[in-house]
Amino acid sequence: MGEVDGGVIVAVDGGGSKTDAVAMDRSGLIVGRASASTSSPHYVGVEAAVAVIDDLVREITGGRSVVQANVYLSGLDLPIEVDTFAQRLQGVEWASATTVVENDLFALLRSGTSATDAVAVICGTGVNAIGRRSDGAVARFAALGNISGDWGGGAGIGEQALWFAARDWDRRGDHTSLTQLVPEALGFASIEEVIHAVHLGPLKYASLARLAPVVSAAADAGDEIAGRLIDRQAEEIAVMAASCILRLGLEGKPVPVVVGGGVLRDPNPRMLAGIQSTLATRAPGATMHHVLAPPILGAALLALESAGASPAALERARGQLDT
């Protein structure tokens, strides 16, 4: 695809808490970049998500035409969700028949590897995974919470931290430092106030994701319950990766497993060690690749590849975004 009147290539990555967008020329030079709040349809709905992305793209393009756009969003977990969002996005001025819409896991995957047989697990506000095989086959999860067998991410860890703290507070459960740490982190005086705030609405469920680093620090300090939550999350990440490998028939192969997301951005050594240990048992041969680069890097690389950009352009973009 050739450039049209100095047109740009656009990449968007929308997670559970933040949306990043970049505009690039064919050489991989970033000519526009902006961020906004979440554009996950699960949190804000399709119409609001489209509006967030449309505003960002208009801002970063500065009136230039868009010759290729790739959009990767949290919350597009089912194929019907991907199709619905892609159809709605066709109503904006800059979208075209070549516009790519997919789950944000593809952006994370590309940030960590270009291998054609690979797996990515994201642990941010929620948790999800995807596997890809060289023939194009894909293994994915519904990622709809308890009803689809999922657990974890910042919100899941936070919810469990509150659960254990509540049971300590009313003497049903074992003592944990989380009973003091949870309300402090959320700006309340007591666990009772936190419970009421979640139940009555002032404190949104997704806000519990703020407790993930609190649990991590408590585990490091020796809190047994916090440590169990860290171990549970590590096992869940590895089990999701192993499931993808099994479903794609890649057992025993040196499959890269890319892990990233907000919970892993400031990694807990215990969690990383737990992921590696469980992978060694569940998926021998798989290797963990912990990605700290922002997922917009992978989205940008995929957008450039969709536009037929050169390897040099990909490296140029990586140099600007791999921080």
Condensed to tens digits (0 to 9), the pLDDT of residues 207-226 reads 999 999 999 999 999 999 99
Query: What ranges in 170-288 are assigned the alpha helix state H?
Result: 178-186, 191-200, 212-220, 224-247, 262-265, 269-282
Would the pLDDT of 80 be above 50?
yes
For CATH 3.30.420.40, the residue range(s) in the chain are 8-104+295-321, 113-292
**pTM beyond 0.85, yes or no:** yes
Range with lowest mean pLDDT among 3-17, 63-77, 85-99: 3-17
User: What's phi and psi for 305, nearest 5 deg?
Assistant: -65, -40
What CA–CA distance (Å, rounded) separates 130 from 256?
Answer: 12
Would the pLDDT of 1 be above 50?
no
Domain 8-104+295-321 falls in which CATH fold? Nucleotidyltransferase; domain 5 (3.30.420)
In the structure encoding, which two tokens stand for residue 93, read together?
A: 């001025």
What CA–CA distance (Å, rounded) separates 103 from 76?
Answer: 5
Q: What is the pLDDT of residues 248-288, one digit of tens each?
A: 999 999 999 999 998 998 889 999 999 999 999 999 999 99
Q: What is the residue whose two structure tokens read 């109503």? A: 91
Instruction: Decide which of 2.40.420.20, 1.10.260.40, 3.30.1360.120, 3.30.420.40 is the CATH code for 113-292.
Output: 3.30.420.40
